[in-house]
Every structure is written in C-alpha cells, then in structure tokens.
C-alpha cells in the first residue's frame, strides 16, 4: 500500500502534519537540512494517515538515522505559518524529546553526514552547540531561543515566519 502522508493543498497553499525530534547530547542539538536548502530544522518528517505522531517520528528516525530511538515527552505543539518555494504553508508540528540508544555512535560524529530520502533528496545531519542556535537560520524560528530554554511542560506555540524560504 502506498504511503499517505498528512499533507494536502495545492501550489498556492499546503497543510502538513509533522513530528520532530529534539535530540540534545552534551550541550549539542542534532539538526538537519536538505542539501540544497540554506536553513536547518529538527530531524523528523511528515506523519502518515492513521499513524500516531510518536510512531511516525520513530519510523522517520529509523529511516533517516538508522537508530531505534526512545520517544520522550511532548515539548511543543507548534502551529507554523511560513512561505516556502512560493507556496504558503500551515504546518502542525509536534516536537518530542528523543533519546538515542545506549552505545549509539551518532554523538561521536564531528562532521556532517548524509541520508537519502525516498525521493532522492540528500539530507545533511550535523550537531550544533546549543549556544550557537539563536544566531542560525533554524526553522521554525521559535526554536532558535526555545532549544536553549526548553519548557518544563508542554507548550503550544503559534509562529508566523515572514522569511521566504526556498528558491
């Protein structure tokens, strides 16, 4: 059966349901970007129809990182509004604390590494010091400050980004 991601709309406007991983190790956060893009985001992906957000995130981490991760608490529910590649997006994002399995070699990586999506797009992964994130092109923008001061409970965030991302 073909995957049915929760994303719909047309060239003018799209809705996405996305789950993302907040993976922090030794004061560093794992971020990723499509090789051709000039901004970073938390790893994750679109949730499939009839799939719980945690299950979608677990699947995405296995596909992208090759790791069986532990999904922790929900940190943020984000309603994100932005323009990308000439289209307006309304994205519902669920951001979970995620732990890598014991013995994972990923925290030891000091250079960026790549995975290839099903559609052939190369995804670049890299660890960044949390202190550097506020000055970086990280989307959605609330994460630039939020990752360094994560809330004790779950927060709902509505973020409107006026930057035009993509070419």
pLDDT digits (tens, 9 = 90+) for 112-134: 999 998 788 899 999 999 999 99
Predicted local distance difference test score (pLDDT) of residue 75: 98
Ordered domains of the chain (ranges, CATH): 7-100+108-158 (3.90.79.10)
Low-confidence ranges of the chain (pLDDT < 70): 1-2, 164-167
**E strand or H helix at 156:** strand 155-165
- Dihedral of CA atoms 132, 137, 140, 144 in degrees, nearest 10, equals 20
pTM over 0.85: yes
């Amino acid at each position: 059966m073909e995957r049915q991601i929760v994303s719909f709309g047309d060239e003018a406007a799209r809705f996405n349901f996305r789950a993302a991983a907040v993976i922090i190790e030794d004061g560093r956060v794992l971020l990723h970007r499509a090789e051709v893009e000039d901004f970073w985001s938390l790893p994750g992906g679109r949730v499939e129809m009839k799939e719980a957000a945690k299950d979608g995130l677990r699947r995405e981490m296995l596909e992208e990182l090759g790791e069986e991760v532990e999904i922790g608490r929900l940190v943020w529910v984000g309603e994100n509004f932005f323009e990308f590649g000439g289209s307006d997006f309304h994205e519902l994002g669920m951001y979970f604390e995620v732990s890598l399995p014991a013995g994972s070699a990923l925290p030891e990586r000091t250079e960026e590494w790549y995975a290839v999506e099903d559609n052939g797009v190369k995804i670049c992964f890299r660890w960044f010091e949390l202190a550097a994130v506020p000055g970086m092109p990280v989307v959605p923008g609330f994460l630039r400050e939020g990752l360094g001061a994560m809330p004790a409970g779950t927060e709902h965030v509505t973020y409107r980004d006026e930057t035009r991302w993509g070419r």
